[in-house]
Amino acid sequence: MDLSRYLDHTLLKPNAGISDIRNLCDEAKKYGFFSVCVNPFWVKDCKRFLKNSGVKICAVVGFPLGANKTETKALETRVAVKDGADELDMVINIGALKSGNLKGLYEDIRSVVKSAAKRPVKAIIETCYLTAKEKVTVVKLAAKAGASFIKTSTGFGNGGAAQSDIRLIRKTAGGNIKIKAAGGIRSRRKALALISAGADRIGSSAGTDMMRRTGKRGRAF
């Protein structure tokens, strides 16, 4: 298995500058990562830096709290697509879920899916804030709304990806939706454990460290 092809090479720090973004893209090309994951402001620059490389561009939407208005998330998605985003990682409205407003939550996810114009949308559910029942509810609802992935975490919450959550999502969704594990994944061992549990993609800012320990193309096993 080529670990590098599971990795979304991530830089979402508020103090990241253009040189950091260029370096992110250079590393993604060097190691053959699946994508770079960045704030929407940087999508155009990533498009330029990654030209003809085959590395995808993932933009976050409603990041990191998910409490934006649905119309704002839809507009943010359309602009990111126009700028060159290939995938969108959107934070769900956690407050709507906690309040039992499932109609509003569905419309929030669905609006981003529609605005993404058939590009993959990953619904970030921030597992650290949810009960097991809420996780099951939002996984089913996100799949119904057309999300391509469930993503566990933003990396800005009080917890990150856990194998137990990956297994619960897989059990709930079956093959109807893919899973991106993210948040606190800084070692090859943890990444592989999450993949073994059922993750289809790994979001991490430590991808280069993982590759340096496994060889340029990240052969894991």
Which are the catalytic amino acids?
A: 89, 151, 180
Q: Encode burial over 194-212: b for 16+ CB neighbours within 10 A, e otherwise.
A: bbebbbbbbbbbbbbebbe
